[in-house]
Structure 1
């Protein structure tokens, strides 16, 4: 079985890293060549078919986080992000989590929620009529996808709710749809539009919006892990991490920054695998405020042995079929590197990465401070921005760290000196 615990992966050169990843994920020579020579993974012709008014493509760094053990399976986790220290932090968090068995996952089925807004209806009568017509509505919805029906998935339930607005009361009819291994936006929207005429007929009302909700509370995914107290830094550090979490649990200003760090990990993997990162962000932030106050998405505590215990739960709609994965070669390869077999498995990897990232960030904050490691990595960006070549960068970085003066101006001064 492949092992994601790779010593000093960051010290290896480009081809050595590709060789390790290629063997781990059984990548073909063609796939390795795409990674080696990639400038974004798509041509202008591809981009012009994907968006309107295309003028080019935009690339971000692609790396892999090591050490991930999730439900007993090893993963190398592709991450696309421009911010330094994120991939290193996730790898470090995963390494410490391995000591006590890595990450454990609990995940709902892949249920998408579609909403049909009904206006000008007698709501009391409409709700009962909708309930009595559920089987007919589901039949119309499921006719939009032969594939889902054949595998026992598709629209499963119809429900109603009344909401009060400044414009009056509205009836919202909701479809619960098992979308399998897809993110499910397109089929959910298609089903909502298909049943809207029947709902108008049943209720005597007028339907307006017919669209999915990205607040995917029927696709909750939870990752948990135990972080060894000695590797964390001792019981005092464990206690301080819990105190720092409490700060984020009860203060919205801290919670926003705390959760942003979690999303560094989550969105990096989402980007690499071609997911809808805006939908993921929106759902996670809504979930953070589900009790009326915006709070930490993670929960930190300690077990009876004094080890640190972390949990992260979010609503998460992701897919391993359909969408951008079908057309973007790098997204295809990243999904292959992950060796995931289902949307639920991918969701577990993504949430585990967010938990690992949050652990490393909050540990750094309660010990050396976030800037120590972050600025060392940022120094390389500054040296490159100053115009240094690959040989000069390392020397300039070492000098700035030794002086504890990491800035673009200092990088430029040192470049002139050497």
Structure 2
């Protein structure tokens, strides 16, 4: 178990030294993280890639950083984040540091429940069909469980049926939700297989015909929640806290602001989901649809002050991630990333993902309420601009610093600065 996630000065080390520092904090040998180094030869091979997707012609590299300072439910956690966007890892780590004094981030989860939908058409009496289906619920659930006896053996399996009538543009749809406990899996394959198997029986009971038989990514029965508390002085004072709360309120009230507010949350969430080999699109679809569950797209997080004046930020969203199956098991780098988190269940992983999303969100809202989002972000982005302009390893920092000093983090300015730097030598 990680002795600490408080790795101060990590940014000043070389990449190899950072890996060693993370391994030391985890009490692991440096080889445990070797798959994160493309030069090690232990990452994803082309043969493995060719078996994962179709028509493989190569791979694309995404930087993997480590979020530090996190305490989640009393446990020190180091979290891998795969992202191309500067400032994301640093911002989440900074807010995690601020939250440590009052206990870090607390999280909870509901059971790992996924749902598959079976669409039934041409049903003469939808209300009567609903009643008939529910009368034979035990039979339908037993048929579903028969498709995955291993899942049932470890305590998962079909749990319930929900029957809905959806009034549509062309016709009404009778929709049956098959509710399944998927254990430590993301669950798509399990619930889709079950839905395929029970669809003919449901159609026979309803007196109609089945059409779509597939999971829903609006996993609103599989929710994860996170909460953090930070003293005002850590954030810059009571005025900044008040401004953060006012800014977050706009994100609840206005979908235009909510879209960017939630994107900030997903900056953290998608980075951890991607690093651990989980399905970023499924998690993102679930999050955004959950944000619009009352008919208006809203912020996923809430910002308040407690009786002591501290900032209280909370986040709740669907979190369909797994530890078994898919790239989480087949991708060597994903396996190393999961191992870094030291989780034992999919629920634990989902809670860490949610915690990072909340920390990233608080960081973005604080920046907006204080110095503005561009100051910190563009300072880190300046390094990318310097590289794009052709700066070598020993020139990058000098060019980036000059861009920030001039207040113009642009490619044309970087080229000018680089030329001036080289001419002065």
Report the TM-score range of the alignment, normalised by the length of the smaller protein.
Answer: over 0.9
Q: Which residue of 1 aligns with 2:340?
A: 337
How far apart are the structure 1 equivalents of 2:325 and 2:78? 23
Range that drifts further, 290-299 or 261-270:
290-299
Give the deviation of 1:151 after TM superposition.
2.0
Deviations 1:132-164 (A, max 9, x none): 111111111001112111122100111211111
**Residue 92 of structure 2, aligned match among 87, 90, 93:** 90
8 Å Cα contact 1:25-1:338 kept in structure 2: no
TM-score (norm 1): 0.97
How far apart are the structure 2 equivalents of 1:90 and 1:391? 28
Q: Which residue of 1 aligns with 2:130?
A: 127
Say if 2:389 is the partner of 1:392: no
Deviations 1:312-349 (A, max 9, x none): 00011010111111110010000000001111111111
Deviations 1:212-251 (A, max 9, x none): 1100000011100101111011111111110111111111
Q: Which residue of 2 aligns with 1:33?
A: 34
**Residue 319 of structure 1, aligned match among 322, 325, 340:** 322
Question: For this pair of structures, how many residues does the alignment match?
Answer: 418
Unaligned runs of 5+ in 2: none
8 Å Cα contact 1:25-1:336 kept in structure 2: no
How far apart are the structure 2 equivalents of 1:110 and 1:323? 17
How far apart are the structure 1 equivalents of 2:278 and 2:226? 19
Say if 2:285 is the partner of 1:282: yes
Q: Which residue of 2 aligns with 1:155?
A: 158
Unaligned runs of 5+ in 1: none
8 Å Cα contact 2:42-2:332 kept in structure 1: no
How far apart are the structure 2 equivalents of 1:40 and 1:372? 38
TM-score (norm 2): 0.96
How far apart are the structure 2 equivalents of 1:138 and 1:64? 43
**Does the C-alpha gap of structure 1 residues 40 and 367 become closer, same or farther in structure 2, counting only changes over 3 Å?**
farther
Deviations 1:110-146 (A, max 9, x none): 0001111111123122111111111111111001112
How far apart are the structure 1 equivalents of 2:323 and 2:25? 19
8 Å Cα contact 1:43-1:57 kept in structure 2: no
8 Å Cα contact 2:155-2:183 kept in structure 1: no
Say if 2:253 is the partner of 1:238: no
How far apart are the structure 1 equivalents of 2:203 and 2:67? 51
8 Å Cα contact 2:20-2:30 kept in structure 1: no
Give the deviation of 1:26 after TM superposition.
4.5
8 Å Cα contact 1:182-1:319 kept in structure 2: yes
Q: Which residue of 2 aligns with 1:56?
A: 58
8 Å Cα contact 1:24-1:337 kept in structure 2: no
Range that drifts further, 84-93 or 251-260:
251-260
